[in-house]
Structure 1
Amino acid sequence: MSTGIHHAQITIPRNEEEKAKDFYCGILGLKEIDKPESLKKRGGFWLQAGNLEVHAGTEDGFDRFQTKAHLAYEVTDLNLWRNKLADQGIIILESVPIPGMERFEFRDPFGNRVEMLQRVNKEDSKNESLV
């Protein structure tokens, strides 16, 4: 029986760990966590995102722009992130609306699709529709 999701993995090109850490730790503010010594020779690094680990593994010969695969990070202030990413020159792509969520997406420096989303209070949504 599954009790939840422990981690998700993204891939980055080999030897691009520092550039990826600059983006994921420096810009997105995720915390790097220790990777077991037995796995370090494979390259990549691990991150903590709330209760979920994100493993950045290395993989060459893959066009990350050709996939819809992605991670979605839930945030408390979507507009703050929209502005912060835009200030970094990151192109923001509007997402198809879904009930109860505001969201947008973008690509990391390697082409990985990333989504940011924020839960919308149903009462706030009702009030916004009246404006």
Structure 2
Amino acid sequence: MRVRRLDHVLLAMPPGREADAREFYQDILGIPEAQKPAELAERGGCWFEDGELKVHLGVEKNFAPARKAHPAFIVDDLAGLSSVLTAAGYAIAHDKPLEGYDRIFVDDPFGNRIELMEIKPS
């Protein structure tokens, strides 16, 4: 017995902010929204999925953003995405270099830390 793969990442969000989630995850990051199963839809939140990339946002009543724990997404054109994020009012943060990657950090609309990584050409 062993773990085979990651099915999805679940991040928390405050109630009633689904439009903000759609703007960030779908419109800026380009991950299409997926329909939640009917039995879960009443809870609020949003799911964003593109093939094996699955980011689910669930409503948490006493929400507190994840500041250290975070997903790291591999992206194409990190410089272009950084420009789009900055133009949309999101602050970009840098950390120590990581061999083989260019990377930045950005907070989603709720303050959850998100790492965006582009693989450096060999």
CA apart distance, 1:14: 0.8
Partners in 1 of 2:99 and 2:43 — Cα distance? 40
1:109 lines up with 2:109 in the alignment = yes
Give the secondary-structure state (helix, strand or coil) at the position aligned to 2:71: strand
Length, aligned pairs only:
121
Which 4+ runs in 1 deviate beyond 4 A? none
Match of 2:39 in 1: 38
On the 8 A contact 2:12/2:63 being kept in 1, the answer is no
CA apart distance, 1:50: 4.5
Structure with greater helix share of residues: 1
Say what the alpha-carbon RMSD is for the aligned residues. Answer: 1.4
Q: Which runs of 5+ in 1 are unaligned?
A: 123-131
TM-score, normalised on structure 1? 0.85
Q: Which runs of 5+ in 2 are unaligned?
A: none
CA apart distance, 1:89: 1.4
1:76 corresponds to which letter in structure 2? D
Deviations 1:67-93 (A, max 9, x none): 211111111211111111111111110
Partners in 2 of 1:72 and 1:10 — Cα distance? 12
1:1-131 mapped onto 2 (5 Å cutoff): 1-64=2-65, 67-122=67-122
